[in-house]
Structure 1
Amino acid sequence: MKKRISYALGVTCATALLLGGCSSSSTYGKYMTLGEYKGLEVSKIKTEITDDDIEQEISYTLDDSTEYNEVDRAAEDGDMVNITYSSTMDGEDFDGGSGEDVDIQLGAGYLEGDILQDAESQIIGMKAGDTKEMDLTIPEDYYFDDTLAGQSIQVTLTVNTVSEVNRPELTDEFVASISDFDTVDAYKEDLKKTLEASAEENNEYMAGSDALTQVVENSTFKGYPDNLYNECKDLYDQTNQAYAEMLGLDVSDFEGTDEEIKAAVESMVYEDMVVTSIAEKEKITVSDDEYTQYVENNLDTYGMSSVEEFESTYSKESVMDELLREKVQKFLLDNAKVTEVSEDEYYQEYDEGETYSDEDVVDLSLDDEAETEIVDADTEAATEAASETGSEA
């Protein structure tokens, strides 16, 4: 399934703040030699928005406008049912075998690859309050735990509610009710421009990030301030915890080994040192006015209704650091040899290219000789955005 382009843009922006630089107020001359950062060769994706892209975005919009009306009758194909279930295997409970208040649209493929895949036909005909015992077989493509594939299970399933699904049709009237346009054609034309602008912003950021990675590879590091590493490690931990909570996972499920964690944090450290060094050499700064304008212009992107709500989730420092990074990345692209490529060509190059490694870095674990100021910031449950800390090395 293709990702929703406009949604992906919001995720990219939020992720940028989550993973932004750990500090942007230090001079790192004694720890590194900045590599070549002008005249880089950079590939940039050129996205072609197709009719399929437009239709899929419209499908998302129709889904968002769909109404679900509870009915007092037996469930039919196409209905949305809310269920609670529990399962046993040879009389024993097992991970992933139960769920409460789970919404399923019958016939929409919601249960494909799920332990309840074969239960769908048996749910049809049940009414709210009905409970049924089912003997099922876990499908061979069970995504949660392939060691359970093909096993027989016993399921107790209760239907809590049955709802009719009323999905609107794309008409001029519908378009007028959700937009400033009166016709479907005008709406599609504007949607295409919006998707193109979103894709271009994403592609620009990716190309700039690739350019920054090249500069890191071109630079030589002989250590880093301990406080900078600690701040990046805190940010790394907070970000992973936020993602884990949003995805309903445990951090240990995706965090990696101690060596991989150290490498990931050091990558953040080196990028921060490079961004700061380039900004200092080229006198690139971010003003308070630029910060304010950015926040006011992007409230909708972040799903915020006011500047106050935004600032309760993201620290000003994290935004300023990310804006500085974006300015540096733009500077790199403005001074690079940029080649536009298709998405397939880009990812083929990416797969064939060498990834950044810290094998050439001599980690002297130098003591930080400078005074450090730690700035604490809150994280909100909705986005669990981790605000980073500032330091002077």
Structure 2
Amino acid sequence: MTHTITETGPFERLVKFRISEEAINEAKKVAARRLSEGIKIRGFRPGKAPLPIVEATVGADRVRKEAIDEALPKVLEEILEEQDLQPAVRPRLESLNEEEGAVEAEVRITLWPTIETPNYKDRKIVVTNPEVTDEELEENIKRMLEQFGTVEEVDRPAGEGDFVSIDITATKDGEEVEGATVSDLLYEVGSGGFLEGADEHLTGKKARDVVEFNGPLPSGFGERAGEEVLFKITLNEVKERVLPELDDEWVDENTEFETVEELREALREQLRDVKVRAAAREFSEKALSTLRDEVDIEIPDGLIEAEANDIIHNFLHRLEDAELSLEDYFRATGTNSDVLVADAKEQAKVSILNRLVLESIVEAEGITVTEEELSNAVQALAARSGDPVRFIKAFRQAGQELALAGDILRNRALDVILSNASPVDEDGNPLDLTIQGQDVVGEVVSDEVVEGEVVALEEEE
């Protein structure tokens, strides 16, 4: 088999090879059989018409084209196996030229990059201190009291945190905007979850005041969202929030605790649990990103493009599940297709670098996964799917075992990184990322691979 392989980049090769006339003629038989299965040829059953009859029916050129499409990947596969080359993405056909009955082809392949394993031993990773400050505790208590609070009318200008009862109208060129008229809306001044510019105009105003200002229609107005209109807001009432007094009696009547001190300690513990989990995730992400940032490598464009396409495909699938169109997303975010593609490519680079780092550690540490462990992982996935029998069948039909094994290996490599790193605060002091003596870092990381595989398989289905 005549072929040449040229290195066109650190991880790219251009494979030039010849498909002989004999190979094409042999492939014509397969092509004719496949073509005849989809057309009716008088006197022959589907798939049984001989080559000359099929050529006469659909044309010799079409049969030859189908034959080349049949033969080319097989010839390329033989060459790559012989040279022990494994493309990371689908090979790209660069040229195809006829030559005396044979065909000369040029195919560009992208190989999976390799890197030197970065030093992952004895790392100190700076993360947010999970200890709860007095200010955080008081803010949390205030939010709890607000849930039990009342509002009372006051005779003074509205300020941040006050509630106002308002009527709203919107007009465009003197015409009222349909759906933009609201009466007796109770709104918290300064909450920011309202019309753009409304907080600024409402602050300092009293009951019966009227304010007018230009601003964009909010996202709920579909195609008209963002359109500049004239808003008119009439203040009917100004109300202030009145919070209950925090004492032992109130705590005993409204919570599961008996005293203010018990409540404070319980809230502090709950807040710390939340902050510890957040810090554990930050620790995991930073431990990997620190190593990733030390990798100096030019990722092949073909690999980035393929990974970005997968990211976009999965994103579109999630939009579809949410019954949203891409146009809806662009309107809500103020972005466009160029931004979407650029973001996907950046995500692709991070994903590829993460994989390179983790796989280098898999090799360095000699990490393995047994058949029993893989089987147990599949069973765990199936148990989460809601239909275990159907899931396992679909999983195996999709050939996902190898992908799952790779994810398990990379997850174990991440465990190695984390076990060799220490979380510290900004001053370099060690941090405790446990909850009641239990390691949270491993708990936060452990489910990510399994959940990712379930999602990936569902998207393929």
With normalisation by structure 2, the TM-score equals 0.44
Counterparts of 1:31-180 in structure 2, within 5 Å, are 31-34=112-115, 35-36=117-118, 38-39=120-121, 41-47=123-129, 48-66=131-149, 80-88=163-171, 91=174, 100=182, 102-105=185-188, 114-115=197-198, 117-119=200-202, 124=207, 134-136=210-212, 155-157=232-234, 165=241, 167-177=243-253, 179-180=255-256
Q: Give the corresponding residue for 1:252.
A: 335
Q: Give the corresponding residue for 1:333.
A: 418
Q: Report the residue type matching 2:270 in the other structure.
A: T
Counterparts of 1:189-208 in structure 2, within 5 Å, are 189-208=265-284
- How far residue 212 of structure 1 moved from its aligned partner, in angstroms, is 1.2
Distance in 2 (alpha carbons) for counterparts of 1:201 and 1:265: 26
Which residue of 311, 326, 333 maps to 1:232? 311
- What value does the CA root-mean-square deviation take over the aligned residues? 5.8
Give 5+ residue unaligned stretches, structure 2: 1-86, 89-109, 219-227, 387-394, 429-451
- How far residue 117 of structure 1 moved from its aligned partner, in angstroms, is 3.3
**CA 1:158 to 1:180, structure 2 compared with 1: closer, same or farther past 3 Å?**
closer
Distance in 2 (alpha carbons) for counterparts of 1:247 and 1:67: 40
**CA 1:289 to 1:268, structure 2 compared with 1: closer, same or farther past 3 Å?**
closer
Which whole-Å deviations, capped at 9, do the CAs of 1:193-237 have from their partners, x for residues lacking one? 232232222122212211212333344445649765433233345
Q: Give the corresponding residue for 2:440.
A: none
Q: Report the residue type matching 2:245 in the other structure.
A: E
Q: SS of the residue aligned with 2:278?
A: helix
Tell me whether 1:213 sits opposite 2:307 in the alignment. no
**CA 1:226 to 1:181, structure 2 compared with 1: closer, same or farther past 3 Å?**
same
**CA 1:99 to 1:264, structure 2 compared with 1: closer, same or farther past 3 Å?**
farther
Conservation of the 8 A alpha-carbon contact between 1:275 and 1:328: yes
Counterparts of 1:13-24 in structure 2, within 5 Å, are none
Distance in 2 (alpha carbons) for counterparts of 1:56 and 1:176: 20
Return the index of the structure with the highest Cα Rg: 2
Highest RCO, 1 vs 2 (Cα 8 Å, sep ≥ 6): 1
- Which one is further off, 82-91 or 32-41? 82-91
- How far residue 321 of structure 1 moved from its aligned partner, in angstroms, is 10
User: Which structure's residues are more often helix, by fraction?
Assistant: 2
- Which one is further off, 44-53 or 112-121? 112-121
Conservation of the 8 A alpha-carbon contact between 1:135 and 1:155: yes
- How far residue 56 of structure 1 moved from its aligned partner, in angstroms, is 0.7
Give 5+ residue unaligned stretches, structure 1: 1-26, 126-131, 145-150, 296-306, 309-315, 344-374, 378-386
Conservation of the 8 A alpha-carbon contact between 2:170 and 2:229: no
Counterparts of 1:365-384 in structure 2, within 5 Å, are none
With normalisation by structure 1, the TM-score equals 0.50
- Percentage identity across paired residues of the two chains: 17
Q: Report the residue type matching 2:187 in the other structure.
A: I
Q: Give the corresponding residue for 1:20.
A: none
Which whole-Å deviations, capped at 9, do the CAs of 1:241-279 have from their partners, x for residues lacking one? 979989992362798364343222332344355446656
**CA 1:109 to 1:231, structure 2 compared with 1: closer, same or farther past 3 Å?**
closer
